[in-house]
Amino acid sequence: MDTRPGLVVAQSGGPTAAINASLAGVVEAALANPGIGRVLGARFGAEGLLSEDFLDLRTFDRSMWPRIGRTPSAALGSCRRMLRATDVEQVLDALDRHQIRYVIYIGGNDSACTALALHHAARERSSDLRVVSVPKTIDNDLPSTDHCPGYGSAARYLAQSTQDAGLDTEAMRLSDPIKLIEVMGRDAGWLVASCVLGRQDESDAPHVLCVPERALNVDAFIGAMEAALTRHGFAVAAVAETVRDEQGRAVGGLNEVRQADAFGHPYIQGTAAALASALGQALGVKARYDKPGTLQRMSGSLASPVDLAEAYEAGATAVRFVIEGRSGSMVGFRRAPGTAYRCEMTDVDLVEVANRQRVLPEAYLGTDPFGVSSAFSDYALPFIGPPLLPYARLF
């Protein structure tokens, strides 16, 4: 029987195009470390930790992990499960039974809360369990890190898709001159802002942005869209699904049954539909909308190579951190100064991450109430990788 301490890795939250790259980084680093015994994968995140539903990752052919790293979604399965105090104790008991000393939990803000809970409970037991979180969120809203794996690929998808939607609307302007694109991101506008990253001139979509950091005056929004329609002959807006009006009400409205996930985040739907209806009534023209939904979150076809490489490195770094004795930490990114883009891995205290959110700063919002500044593009462009497809126009 292998007496070396074991490692378990789990994935949680909404899958992305890069979360499996982090998984591959964890597994390959763990398999290569002679001090680690069993390498297990918990199926469906915290659910698998609770039910001891583990895969023995040493039994898989090592040639498979590079392919897993390029596969979108969560190869181990994911969940949105908030652990109660009794659940945490149950998980610790299970880890003891399987001789697990190292836990790598890949996920976003809510997953950081789970990892922190396991860390604190282990310390109360005087356990040597070490827990490190690997960031994963297309929302890019985790504090104390320059950016998050998953964001670059989602940003590339939205930047390219917005150009596609813009050309479609430009061609169909005589019948369908207005298009809205409803974007994810909870209460942070990083994803909505990324829709501008493919623009080459002022006629390119999007012409109007609605970020959740700014309360939406619907009349002002209609005015901005009308101005774009007059100037370009068509108008495209990227709107956050969670945008709220000046009274704090969700523009799209909450689901009729007021649904929320396990962490209390409400599901808001219908934002683009509501704004398209308002535009149609006010301007007397047809307004259509697209809602990429989970495609923007985990589409592999437009995954950013930069994002995939950094996600892999974050996973491998997490293994190094636990071996070095760190726990209650998240792998963070610190951007090096200078014009050339380069990031290094850092150790972030999970206390700085759990139950906290980073929204777009004023410097990135700029002065245009329906736009973002050039400083945002300077910040975000490196994440999406090589240039987007080079489109052209005849007129």
The whole-number pLDDT of residue 186 equals 84
How many other C-beta atoms lie within 10 A of the C-beta of residue 4?
13
Residue 145 in domain: no
DSSP designation for 106: E
Host domain of residue 90: 6-138+302-352
Same domain, 161 and 287: yes
Residue 47 in domain: yes
Burial (0-12, 13-18, 19+ Cβ within 10 Å), 382:
middle
Q: Could you give the 3-state DSSP secondary structure of residue 269?
A: coil
| Average pLDDT, consecutive stretches of 10 residues, N- to C-terminus, the chain (395 residues) | 93 97 98 98 97 98 98 97 93 97 96 96 97 98 98 98 98 98 94 97 97 97 98 98 93 59 64 95 96 94 98 98 98 94 97 95 96 97 97 93
Instruction: State the total domains in the chain.
Output: 2
With the C-alpha atoms ordered 354, 302, 374, 334, is the resulting torsion angle positive or negative? positive
CA distances from 343 to 63, 110, 310, 357 (A): 28, 24, 9, 21
Q: Pick the catalytic residue: 110, 139, 204, 307?
A: 139
Same domain, 180 and 210: yes
The whole-number pLDDT of residue 1 equals 74
Residue 288's CATH number: 3.40.50.460
Same domain, 202 and 306: no
Same domain, 228 and 307: no
Same domain, 11 and 119: yes
Same domain, 175 and 96: no
The whole-number pLDDT of residue 247 equals 92
Q: Is the pTM of this model over 0.75?
A: yes
139 among known catalytic residues: yes
Q: What does the DSSP assignment read for 39-102? A: EEEETTTHHHHHHT-EEEGGGS-TTHHHHHHT--S-TT-----PPPHHHHHHHHHHHHHTTEEE
Same domain, 122 and 263: no
